[in-house]
Amino acid sequence: MEQTSSPSSPASPALPSGTSVARPAGTASLVAALVAAAVACQLCISMPTPALPDIADRLHTGTATVGMAQAVFFLLGGLLSVIVAACSDYGRTRTLMVAALALAVVGSVVAAAAPTTAVFAVGRALQATATAVFPLALRVMRQTLGPREFGRAMGLITAANGGIVGLDGLLSGWLTDRYGFRSVFVVMAVFGVATMVFLARTVPETGRSSTGRLDWPGLAVLSLGLACVELGVGMAGRAPVGGVVVLLVLGAGFFVAFPVVERRRPEPLLPPGYLSSRSTWPVLVTSMLVTMGMLSTVNFVVPVFGQNDRFGFGLSATGAALLFIVPVCLVNVFMAPAMGTLAARTGWRRVLRWSTALTVPVLVALALGLHSQVLAVLLVVLVGFGLAGAMTPLNGLSAILAAPRNPSLLPGVNSAAYGIGSSLGFLMASRLAGSSDAAGATSADGFRAAVWTAAAVIALAFAASLLIRGRAGDEEKI
């Protein structure tokens, strides 16, 4: 990728032909607006979870029924991340970001006022548009910031997207206990409106990065493949095995059909051979494996083990979150920006490889020392360092290695890979632990097996990261 520079400004990546980007008046304001957008996206994802029991109670239904609304949200979120990202390459990015947040705000209001479960599900479906904001924010950063600025900004947005997990859950739990679940969605709506105004006033508008027409057949095949895989993984363990297998086979079929369809299109969604190149698929595989191994450990295995009265630490849900989840969030908040700065200087792949490689022995030690509360806390914090050091370069690589003609698409597909990896990790960990909650588990051995498996998964992530390579002719260090 060509770069231009001047004595007074850092080098910025050259934009594809036809792209028009106004230079932002202030880099700090731009980054702050994009970070706020990432926070708005994350609030829609995580804040409703602690309120699910209260939602079920006040809407006079079961938690399983409310859980279906959550499943719809995550399924649509994964699809919209790809679809809106693809559309942004043929339209105006800031306009799409504001529109996506506007629909999410409407969804928050609908969910807050919902008299029935069906209306609540409609509100959550509308909120799913917020998940499309994150890949668009990565594109804006890539197109408006120089390499060093991009590294720092990537760390900040990763910290915002991952660092508030746990902290927002505590806020949601407090609001639910004090005012009921509707207050949670009111907070999301208010923050969403403020973020919309901030984006509209701060983020420069971008023109088309692609000429011609959007490849709708190719986008449909790719989206259907992702939908089948996400639905199949999400239903695993809760639906008949035959149905899950059918969905996964259908997803694989759509993925196989995608390059066939693309070869016949005059203006394909992606360049020929792009997804099969080593600058693309290893990034997606590594992203899926990192979330599968690390997030399952810090968000499920250790907190659930800590709440078990028989062989765990007998903590309350709040106590487990404060002891295990919140420290990881704080590590991410402070370390992700540092990792972004380091990656921009030394290479994104180098930081990713060191982070995954060093996390493997930490997980092995955690599996061996899970019986010790003090040791478990210290090692989970170290996993948090690995998580910050892996997620930041993965987000950066998805933006840097994106196809010049479609700069938003790889970040969108990468977001879907995160979702698939998280679902697989939760499924793997709950199966090995013997239950999806602390009360149902019967032995500590299952939790140890889950951590051992996570260590093996992260070892595979390290191996996949070794396969990532840059594009020929790129001057930027990756």
- Pairing between β-strand 9-13 and β-strand 3-6 as defined by DSSP bridges: antiparallel
CA pair distance 378, 362, nearest whole angstrom: 10
How far from 333 is each of 29, 124, 166, 336, CA to CA, in Å? 19, 27, 12, 6
How far from 465 is each of 289, 345, 348, CA to CA, in Å? 10, 18, 10
Which amino acid does the sequence have at 469? R
Which pLDDT belongs to residue 23? 47
CB–CB of 204/144 below 8 Å?
Answer: yes
CA pair distance 115, 194, nearest whole angstrom: 26
**Token pair in block for residue 230:** 């996400």
Q: What angle do CA 34, 391, 221 make, to 5 degrees?
A: 80
Mean pLDDT, rounded, for 261-267: 81
Band the pLDDT of 361: cuts 50, 70, 90: very high
Of the ranges 21-35, 218-232, 267-281, which one carries the lowest mean pLDDT score? 21-35
75-111 pLDDT, tens digit per residue, is 788 888 888 888 877 778 888 999 999 999 999 999 9
Higher-pLDDT residue of 355 and 62 is: 355
Higher-pLDDT residue of 387 and 316 is: 387
Question: Is the model's pLDDT at 386 over the cut of 90?
Answer: yes
- How distant is the alpha carbon of residue 358 from its chain centre? 22
322-331 pLDDT, tens digit per residue, is 888 888 888 8
Mean pLDDT, rounded, for 214-225: 85
Band the pLDDT of 472: cuts 50, 70, 90: low
pTM: 0.82
Which pLDDT belongs to residue 375? 94
Scanning 164-301, the segments in alpha helix (DSSP H) are 167-179, 181-202, 216-235, 241-263, 281-290, 296
Residue closest to 81 by CA, chosen among 336, 422, 417, 395: 417
